[in-house]
Copies of this chain bind each other. A is one copy, B any other.
Amino acid sequence: MEIDFRKGDGLIPVIVQDASTNEILMMAYMNQEAWEETVRRKKACFWSRSREKLWLKGETSGHFQEVKEMFLDCDGDTLLLKVDQIGGAACHTGFRSCFHQRYEEGAWKVSGEKIFDPKEVYGR
């Protein structure tokens, strides 16, 4: 089995899970190069679709994701990383998880824990 980058035009979705709590932290995309960088560095590296460049998660914030385990799904087109999240939060908004909006009575309500102030971490 090999990773199948063809279906998604060279990109595969990557689920990132906290290795100790099993909380889902975020989802992002990898191309072949991001995958190879992730294996080499043992830190999560993605392809930024908005900036159209390789993106070492934490390169600006210092909040790297140290990769502990990696899993491939049954049809080879989705990855799951289990990571140690440096700094305790994965989301650029300062929340621990990007999935911090919960569906309640027909609307999305903010839930979850804010760990850092984005202004302090990103300086903007």
Which A residues are within 8 Å of any B CB, using their own CB?
Answer: 1-2, 13, 15, 17, 21-24, 26-27, 39, 69-75, 78, 80, 91-93, 95, 97-103, 108, 111
From residue A108, how far is it (CB to closest CB) to chain B in Å? 5
Contact call A102/B69, Cβ cutoff below 8 A: yes
Chosen A-B contacts, 30 in total, with CB atoms closer than 8 Å, are A1-B101, A1-B108, A2-B108, A13-B13, A15-B15, A15-B24, A15-B27, A24-B24, A24-B80, A26-B73, A27-B78, A39-B103, A69-B102, A71-B97, A71-B100, A71-B102, A71-B111, A72-B101, A72-B103, A72-B108, A73-B98, A73-B99, A73-B101, A74-B92, A74-B93, A74-B95, A74-B98, A74-B100, A74-B101, A78-B98
